[in-house]
Amino acid sequence: MTANSTFEDFWLHYLREHARSETRALHMLGTTLGLLLFAAAVLTWRPDVAVLALGVAYGLAWVGHFVFEQNGPAAFHNPIWSLRADLRMCALWLSGDLEPELRRAGVLAY
């Protein structure tokens, strides 16, 4: 990815970096648990739980990258767009609309 890429270019690259269903499942689990823990941290004013939220969310996602994809997380290159893409991927997965986006990115659903 170049510095001049658009988010849409990044999005398609992001999907190609998340080609395996196992990686996407770990992202879904990590994002869900991370958001729940972050909400608990805010509600209880517990910064340690916020740190735990980040560790759980990124930890599960990175397992997917290193074990299943054998690539590096997109967060290493563009953390803001990576978070945005992760939330978009999760929302599309929940709505059942992720597969057309995967196809558009040239990813075979497996």
Yes or no: say if 59 and 30 are a contact pair by the CB < 8 Å rule: yes
Alpha helix (H) ranges present in the chain? 7-16, 21-44, 47-63, 79-95, 98-104
Per-residue pLDDT of 61-77, as tens digits, reads: 999 999 999 998 888 88
Question: What are the pLDDT digits (tens) for 9-51?
Answer: 999 999 999 999 999 999 999 999 999 999 999 999 999 999 9
What is d(CA 98, CA 93) in angstroms, rounded to the nearest whole number? 5
3-state SS of 32-47 is HHHHHHHHHHHHHCCH
CA–CA–CA angle 48, 74, 76 (5° rounding): 60
